[in-house]
């Protein structure tokens, strides 16, 4: 029994140490088993401080221009599109082989031999894709986020299960501390075991004793499924907390024809707004498809008149 609700045992947040395991395959196996059990896992020393310091250096020039977004306090900043702002983030953090073994395990789409065309049994194995990359900077006395599941953007809905079944999740995130990240400065709050819950259940409030905030040092990562409840915490210190976020999602979550590269942008700019939005230059409720956390239509049509820039729920 692995449930942690209705009076049954609380599931602890698992920790593994990358330094005590030189073999990436063995480390990934440990992380996979931990995430299967708890929905999340801390990997100590996933990256060295040379890496995290270089990423901070790459991010620093973008901080002044980076915005706040609706759903985040004005003392927080999100540096988006991080992949093209830091080569070290893109190549070393996003490229970590253990991260890839873990996401491949949880998010690969597999279709066993099936007759999809007459007399042609087809098998496919599609590996996950990058979903988003950004850095969350919670400034001095910045407010925390609401407890959430990352798959709300994909309108995912799951029912309760006693044991984790592979295929359940659409996404997985790796949060990596660039600065220390702990309870007092806005460290990420996690509810281990909530990946097994029914989405119809009332969400706990921030005083729930099952919530834990791991102390992360620069280079430590927290990996969590998109079904696991979590939130950036509130920062009660004078220092900014910086955590990079790399999200992976299942491969099928894309359009059949790539609308952003298939057309001449000058032609697209002349289309009516309804067509631009239909092509995908729009936010899907509650908050999917953004560019710099804003309505993507702003990028191609600043005269569109009406924009939807943040969480859009009713």
Ligand X SMILES: O=C(O)CCC(=O)C(=O)O
* Closer by beta carbon to ligand X, 36 or else 77: 77
Pattern of binders to Fe ion over 82-121, x per CB under 5 A? ----------------------------------------
168: left (phi over 0), alpha (psi -120 to 50) or beta: alpha
With CB under 5 A as the rule, give the number of residues binding Fe ion.
1
223 is a contact residue toward ligand X (CB under 6 A): no
245 is a contact residue toward ligand X (CB under 6 A): yes
Among ligand X, Fe ion, none, what binds residue 86 when CB lies within 5 to 8 Å by partner kind? none
Among Fe ion, ligand X, none, what binds residue 136 when CB lies within 5 to 8 Å by partner kind? ligand X
Q: Binding to ligand X (CB under 6 A): which residues in 137-156? A: 145, 150
293 is a contact residue toward ligand X (CB under 6 A): no
Q: Binding to Fe ion (CB under 5 A): which residues in 230-289? A: none
28-36: list long-range contacts, CB under 8 Å, 24+ apart. Answer: 28/97, 28/98, 28/101, 28/102, 28/105, 31/98, 31/102, 31/223, 32/101, 32/102, 32/105, 32/106, 35/102, 35/106, 35/172, 35/223, 35/224, 35/225, 36/164
* Closer by beta carbon to ligand X, 150 or else 220: 150
Among Fe ion, ligand X, none, what binds residue 31 when CB lies within 5 to 8 Å by partner kind? none
Of 98, 178, 243, 248, which lies in the binding site for ligand X, with binding defined by CB under 6 A?
243
Task: Give the DSSP per-residue string, the chain.
Answer: ----STTSPPPPPPEEEGGG---HHHHHHHHHHHHHHHSEEEEETSS-HHHHHHHHHHHGGGTTTPBP-TTS-TTEEEE--GGGT-HIIIIIITT-HHHHHHHHHHH-EEEEEEEEETTEEEEEEE--EEEEEEEEEE-TTPPPPPPB-GGGGGT------SS--TT--SEEEEEEESS-B-TTBTPPEE-TTGGGS-TTSPPP-TT-TT-B---B-TT-EEEEETTS-EE---B-SSS-EEEEEEEEE-TTSS-SS-TTTSS-HHHHHHS-HHHHHHHT-SPBTTTBS-BTTB-THHHH-TTSS----S----
150 is a contact residue toward Fe ion (CB under 5 A): yes
* Closer by beta carbon to ligand X, 197 or else 287: 287
Among Fe ion, ligand X, none, what binds residue 76 when CB lies within 5 to 8 Å by partner kind? none
CB of 68 to ligand X, least distance (A): 13
Give the residue nearest to ligand X (CB). Answer: 232
CB of 279 to ligand X, least distance (A): 26
175 is a contact residue toward ligand X (CB under 6 A): yes
Stretch that binds Fe ion, among 26-34, 41-49, 146-154, 288-296 (CB under 5 A): 146-154
Among ligand X, Fe ion, none, what binds residue 220 when CB lies within 5 to 8 Å by partner kind? none
169 is a contact residue toward ligand X (CB under 6 A): no
* Closer by beta carbon to ligand X, 86 or else 145: 145
Backbone phi, psi, residue 130, to 5°: -70, 135
301 is a contact residue toward ligand X (CB under 6 A): no
Beta pairing partners, 88:
none
* Closer by beta carbon to Fe ion, 150 or else 220: 150
232 is a contact residue toward ligand X (CB under 6 A): yes
Q: Which residues bind ligand X (CB under 6 A)?
A: 136, 145, 150, 175, 188, 230, 232, 243, 245
Q: Which residues bind Fe ion (CB under 5 A)?
A: 150
């Amino acid at each position: 029994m692995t449930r942690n609700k209705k009076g049954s045992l609380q599931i602890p947040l698992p920790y593994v140490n990358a330094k005590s395991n030189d073999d990436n395959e063995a480390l990934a196996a440990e992380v996979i088993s931990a995430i299967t059990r708890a929905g999340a896992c801390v990997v100590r020393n996933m990256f060295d401080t040379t890496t995290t310091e270089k990423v901070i250096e790459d991010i620093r020039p973008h901080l002044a221009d980076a915005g706040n977004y609706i759903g985040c306090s004005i003392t927080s900043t999100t540096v988006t599109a991080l992949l093209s702002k830091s080569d070290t983030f893109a190549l070393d953090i996003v490229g970590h082989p253990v991260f890839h073994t873990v996401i491949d395990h949880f998010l690969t789409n597999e279709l066993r031999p099936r007759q999809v065309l007459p007399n042609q049994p087809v098998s496919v194995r599609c590996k996950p894709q990058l979903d988003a990359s950004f850095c969350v900077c919670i400034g001095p006395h910045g407010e925390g986020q609401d407890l959430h599941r990352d798959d709300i953007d994909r309108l995912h809905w799951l029912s309760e299960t006693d044991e984790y079944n592979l295929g359940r999740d659409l996404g997985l995130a790796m949060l990596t501390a660039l600065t220390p990240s702990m309870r007092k400065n806005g460290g990420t709050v996690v509810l281990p075991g909530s990946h097994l819950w029914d989405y119809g259940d009332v969400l706990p409030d921030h005083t729930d004793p099952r919530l834990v905030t791991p102390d992360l040092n620069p280079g430590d990562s927290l990996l969590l499924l998109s079904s696991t409840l979590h939130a950036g915490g509130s920062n009660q210190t004078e220092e900014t907390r910086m955590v990079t976020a790399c999200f992976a999602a299942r491969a099928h979550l894309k359009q059949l024809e790539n609308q952003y590269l298939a057309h001449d942008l000058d032609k697209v700019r002349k289309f009516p707004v309804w067509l631009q939005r239909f092509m995908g230059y729009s936010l899907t409720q509650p908050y999917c498809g953004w560019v710099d956390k804003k309505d993507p239509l702003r990028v191609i049509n600043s005269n569109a008149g009406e924009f939807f820039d943040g969480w859009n729920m009713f």
